[in-house]
């Protein structure tokens, strides 16, 4: 983080709130747009967050503050601790504004968009169910597991590797890289004593990942397979095609964006179900419940708690506050999801909630690209866990959380069960 941290940021990222940040968010919502001297503008209420996510003045690419410079011509400031992008690569479309964002997003989407989406998701349903089944079979002979290490973690990485066409023997390397890159996204100022060392390792890993992906792209160019990377490499639409570096940063984005997030959705989901055993029992008897239930989880305990990196390209007046051009803005999605001005009885977990336009996948031009896949993964994972685990119970509540305040979730979720069905 380059900006000086204010005390609000310290509170929000304080590990003491990790297991239950919601009372703090309720306090913060008393001032919908809060700001202290040093820190960013913190937006915590639903309508303000929603409005800003749809406001073209609020940029995801601070380089656009300088209208004279074309994005591809700007060298990255060495001082900037920019953890998400690969060294030597242009930012992925997550970090770009329209029109460049839209061009790359639609190029990335094209091979999977209609009419291909339903077919792809249908084909994937079988594959995902098989991977989940194998992971659960692996619990045989045990009476306790760590859900994170044994299930929630390996599942999405295996899926994204298969999707991207990463050979199975390389998956363990990929898992390790994904982990390090995700840890680098944490803005917690006190995350650990040796932040410089952490950044060094993270840079090194990102370079390794870039080299690996770039070789994989070359291979797919020579010999295309039935995977997403081959489709992206070969795609040429009305918008043209992706350059080599664009392909690389898109592949790296898909890996990172779809990993830790899905791990946390599944883990937070199982935690919530085990705290609400009557809902778990209902799910076991009625698997259709899983569709609204996963939406409610994305509202109630979302894996992406906040979007900490937005910049107004011009002054924005909102909720009686003027946010100056160039300021840093943090949008607390998870707080918006608990806003009583928007949701009835927001602190209640209501698996059949009807009016549920949550912010769990963001909103506006950057809204989650992988939402259909993430939903499907979580739906299959939770349905199968509910169906197959006999008498599951939590061994630790609250569990130990990862330090990361943005991508929030338990580091371990120890469970006991009586057997497998
Ligand atoms: C964007 C959440 C899974 C790919 C986003 C954003 C959120 C989000 C909040 C908005 C970021 C912003 O506005 O700056 C989640 C959650 C997931 C999940 C909670 C799992 C439960 C996935 C998966 C993939 C993916 C599985 C890919 C396979 C992306 C991409 C973007 C994105 C590429 C950037 C979209 C853009 O900038 O246009 N996600 N995501 N996500 N997500 Fe996800």
The predicted-structure confidence for 39-54, as pLDDT tens digits, reads as follows 999 999 999 999 999 9
Report how far ligand 1's centroid is from the alpha carbon of 375 (Å): 11
The predicted-structure confidence for 184-235, as pLDDT tens digits, reads as follows 665 554 455 567 777 788 788 888 888 899 999 999 999 998 888 888 888 7
Task: Quickly state the pLDDT bin for 161 (edges 50, 70, 90).
Answer: confident
Report the alpha-carbon angle 326-328-330, nearest 5.
Answer: 145
Residue 383 lies in a domain: yes
Pocket test for ligand 1, best of 95, 161, 162, 261 (most atoms within 8 A of CB): 261
Ligand 1 site residues, Cβ closer than 6 angstroms = 60, 93-94, 105, 253-254, 257-258, 261-262, 265, 302-304, 307, 360-362, 366, 368-370, 373-374
Does the structure show a pLDDT above 80 at 405? yes
Please name the residue whose Cα sits nearest to atom 12 of ligand 1. Answer: 366
pLDDT of residue 113: 62
Task: Quickly state the pLDDT bin for 114 (edges 50, 70, 90).
Answer: low
pLDDT of residue 184: 65
Cis peptide before 398 (omega within 30 of 0): yes
The residue that leads in pLDDT, 229 or 342, is 342
Residue 1 lies in a domain: no
Q: Give the atom of ligand 1 at the shortest distance from the alpha carbon of 373.
A: 26
Task: Quickly state the pLDDT bin for 112 (edges 50, 70, 90).
Answer: low
Does the structure show a pLDDT above 90 at 386? yes
Provide DSSP, 122-178: HHHHHHHHHHHHHHHHTTTT-SEEEHIIIIITHHHHHHHHHHHT--GGGHHHHHHHH
Report how far ligand 1's centroid is from the alpha carbon of 370 (Å): 6
Residue 209 lies in a domain: yes
Report how far ligand 1's centroid is from the alpha carbon of 250 (Å): 12
The residue that leads in pLDDT, 364 or 157, is 364
Percent of the chain, pLDDT > 90? 65
Report the alpha-carbon angle 84-318-66, nearest 5.
Answer: 45
pLDDT of residue 2: 38
Whether 41 and 35 have beta carbons less than 8 Å apart is answered as yes
Please name the residue whose Cα sits nearest to atom 35 of ligand 1. Answer: 366
CA–CA distance, 177 with 175 (Å, rounded to integer): 6
Arithmetic mean of pLDDT, 65-75 = 55
Residue 93 lies in a domain: yes
Residue 395 lies in a domain: yes
Q: Which helix (H) or strand (E) holds 334?
A: helix 333-336
Arithmetic mean of pLDDT, 296-303 = 98
Q: Give the atom of ligand 1 at the shortest distance from the alpha carbon of 60.
A: 14
Q: What is the ipTM, given to two decimal places?
A: 0.98
pLDDT of residue 78: 35
Q: Give the atom of ligand 1 at the shortest distance from the alpha carbon of 105.
A: 38
Of 82-91, 203-212, 380-389, the range with the lowest mean pLDDT is 82-91
Residue 2 lies in a domain: no
Bridge-based pairing of strands 33-35 and 41-43 is antiparallel
Please name the residue whose Cα sits nearest to atom 16 of ligand 1. Answer: 261
Report how far ligand 1's centroid is from the alpha carbon of 58 (Å): 18
Report how far ligand 1's centroid is from the alpha carbon of 92 (Å): 12
Arithmetic mean of pLDDT, 83-108 = 81
Whether 390 and 417 have beta carbons less than 8 Å apart is answered as yes
Does the structure show a pLDDT above 80 at 96? yes
Residue 286 lies in a domain: yes
pLDDT of residue 98: 97
Whether 410 and 155 have beta carbons less than 8 Å apart is answered as no
CA–CA distance, 276 with 339 (Å, rounded to integer): 22
Beta bridge partners of 144: 416
Report how far ligand 1's centroid is from the alpha carbon of 362 (Å): 8
Pocket test for ligand 1, best of 92, 294, 361 (most atoms within 8 A of CB): 361
Whether 63 and 372 have beta carbons less than 8 Å apart is answered as no
Order of strands, sheet of 307-312, starting from the edge strand that comes earlier in the sequence:
33-35, 41-43, 329-331, 307-312, 58-59
pLDDT of residue 3: 43
Domain of residue 262 covers 7-420
Global confidence as pTM:
0.91
Instruction: Please state, rounded to an integer, the average pLDDT across all residues of the chain.
Output: 88
Q: Give the atom of ligand 1 at the shortest distance from the alpha carbon of 333.
A: 9
Q: Which residue in 95, 106, 85 sits closest to 64, CA to CA?
A: 95
Pocket test for ligand 1, best of 257, 269, 310, 334 (most atoms within 8 A of CB): 257
Pull the structure tokens for residue 201. 């390792």
Q: For residue 126, what are the contacts with CB-CB under 8 A and spacing of at least 6?
A: none
SS3 325: coil
Q: Which residue in 212, 112, 137 sits closest to 171, CA to CA?
A: 212
pLDDT of residue 228: 84
Q: Which residue in 405, 385, 179, 421 sits closest to 307, CA to CA?
A: 405
Q: At 391, which CATH number?
A: 1.10.630.10
The predicted-structure confidence for 316-334, as pLDDT tens digits, reads as follows 999 999 999 999 999 999 9
Report the alpha-carbon angle 190-194-198, nearest 5.
Answer: 100
Please name the residue whose Cα sits nearest to atom 15 of ligand 1. Answer: 361
Pocket test for ligand 1, best of 242, 370, 404 (most atoms within 8 A of CB): 370
Percent of the chain, pLDDT > 70? 88
pLDDT of residue 304: 97
Report how far ligand 1's centroid is from the alpha carbon of 368 (Å): 4
Task: Quickly state the pLDDT bin for 117 (edges 50, 70, 90).
Answer: low
Count the domains in the chain.
1
Provide DSSP, 191-257: S-TTHHHHHHHHHHHHHHHHHHHHHHHHHHHHS--SSHHHHHHH--BTTB---HHHHHHHHHHHHHH
């Amino acid at each position: 983080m380059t900006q000086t941290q204010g005390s609000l940021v310290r509170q929000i990222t304080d590990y003491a709130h990790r297991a239950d940040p919601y009372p703090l968010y309720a306090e913060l919502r008393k001032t919908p747009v809060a700001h202290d001297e040093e820190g960013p503008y913190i937006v915590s209420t639903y309508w303000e967050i929603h409005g800003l996510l749809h406001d073209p003045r609020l940029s995801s690419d601070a380089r656009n503050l300088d209208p004279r410079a074309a994005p591809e011509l700007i060298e990255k400031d060495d001082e900037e601790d920019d953890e998400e992008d690969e060294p030597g690569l242009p930012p992925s479309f997550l970090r770009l504004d329209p029109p460049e964002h839209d061009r790359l997003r639609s190029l990335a989407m094209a091979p999977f968009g209609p009419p291909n989406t339903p077919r792809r998701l249908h084909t994937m349903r079988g594959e995902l169910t098989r991977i989940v089944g194998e992971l659960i079979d692996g619990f045989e002979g045990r009476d306790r597991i760590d859900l994170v290490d044994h299930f929630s973690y390996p599942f999405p990485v295996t899926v994204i590797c298969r999707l991207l066409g990463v050979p199975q023997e390389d998956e363990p390397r990929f898992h390790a890289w994904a982990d390090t890159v995700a840890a680098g996204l944490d803005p917690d100022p006190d995350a650990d004593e040796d932040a410089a060392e952490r950044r060094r390792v993270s840079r090194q890993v990102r370079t390794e990942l870039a080299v690996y992906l770039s070789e994989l792209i070359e291979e797919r160019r020579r010999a295309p397979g039935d995977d997403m990377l081959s489709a992206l490499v070969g795609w040429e639409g009305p918008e043209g095609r992706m350059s080599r570096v664009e392909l690389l940063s898109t592949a790296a984005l898909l890996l990172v964006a779809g990993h830790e997030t899905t791990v946390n959705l599944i883990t937070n989901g199982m935690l919530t179900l085990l705290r609400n055993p009557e809902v778990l029992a209902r799910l076991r008897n009625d698997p259709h419940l899983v569709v609204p239930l996963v939406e409610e989880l994305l509202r109630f305990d979302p894996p992406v708690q906040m979007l900490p990196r937005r910049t107004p390209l011009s002054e924005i007046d909102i909720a009686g506050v003027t946010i100056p051009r160039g300021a840093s803005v943090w949008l607390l999605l998870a707080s918006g999801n608990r806003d009583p001005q928007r949701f009835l009885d927001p602190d209640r977990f209501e698996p059949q909630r009807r009016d549920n336009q949550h912010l769990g996948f963001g909103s506006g031009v950057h809204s989650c690209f992988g939402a259909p896949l993430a939903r499907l993964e979580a739906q299959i994972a939770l349905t199968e866990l509910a169906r197959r685990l006999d008498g599951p119970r939590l061994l630790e509540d609250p569990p130990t959380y990862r330090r990361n305040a943005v991508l929030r979730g338990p580091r371990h979720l120890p469970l006991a069960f009586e057997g497998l069905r």
